[in-house]
Amino acid sequence: MPPSAKATPAFRYTERDLARFRETQQLAYHCAEEVAAWIEPGVTERQTTAELRRRLVSAGVQDFFHVPFAWFGDRTAFRHFHTPLQFFAGNRRLEEGMPYVLDCAPVVDGYTADIGYGGKVGENRLWDRLADDLRVYRELILAEVRARKPLAEVYAAVDAQLAAHGYDNRHRVYPGRVIGHQVTRTVTRGPAGVNVLGFGVRTLQTLGRELVSERLQGRSPLWADGRSSRHAPTPGLWAVEPHIGFRGVGIKFEELLVVTEDDAHWLDDDLPHVRRWNGGAATADPAAPATADRPDPADPTALEATR
């Protein structure tokens, strides 16, 4: 092998490992659905994250990759977010017609999941449209990764689809502009349940070690649109979270993508957003431009017309 060549890292998880990751992801989504059924107008983001954490711990969660998040109303689209502290749950109260996003990252026996769950209270036709179109991004990301496109190019393909839909890229507001990040089985010995700036101590230990290791190989465990992501998809598990928005309404899914040396697949298709799409919800062709019934971003009345 020439000195400049880099060997493709091998996929390191067994079927048993994948089953455990899948169980943790199912547990996370189950708790998110329970909280979605519990919330009602008047509850705050802080009350919601406390309830989500309580249910996760009661279900056997021992640690968190990051603390649970909840965003209500225009905060689902990260309106006016300028610092990391704005991501933490606040005193925003849920109102009729508001969208919401729940995000949690439980750890069970070292197996980590990181999920995003979008919903609404009452009627919101604009949310319905974004929720239907979100399917396009799941299909697009999988196809691009299977084609072994560099991660930065997959990110660019998502941006191009967002432009075709007339939507805003909201994952670029996340720290590091990430659309995803690698997830591993945590084996560090730091204190469980202790977090620093919203991230578990064990998470920070593991992530720090992987950042150094991956950078030495010319890769990054963080998936963004910059130079560090100009490499083929690294085999392993990736928590992928395309986050789209339009005029104060934001929605995303977040779930685990399995990447091998020459293929990829979503870890589990039995998830709330996938079940919703398969239940007859309208979907869009990944290559299709914005359609006439999709809100026009240039139309200042589009939001009210679709609610």
CATH numbers and ranges of domains, the chain: 15-305 (3.90.230.10)
**Residue among 166, 156, 146, 181 at smallest CA distance from 290:** 166
Instruction: Flag the least confident range among 37-46, 227-236, 271-280.
Output: 271-280
Q: From CA 72, how far away is CA 93, in angstroms rounded?
A: 7
Strand residue runs (E) in 93-224? 99-108, 111-112, 115-120, 168-169, 180-183, 195-196, 199-200, 222-223
Checking if the pLDDT of 298 tops 50, the result is no
Please, are residues 158 and 169 in contact by the beta-carbon 8 Å criterion? yes
**Residue 55 confidence class, pLDDT cut points 50, 70, 90:** very high
Assigned token pair, 284: 């869009």
**Residue 234 pLDDT:** 95
User: What secondary structure letter does DSSP report for 232?
Assistant: P
pTM: 0.81
Work out the number of other CB atoms within 10 angstroms of the CB of residue 40: 9
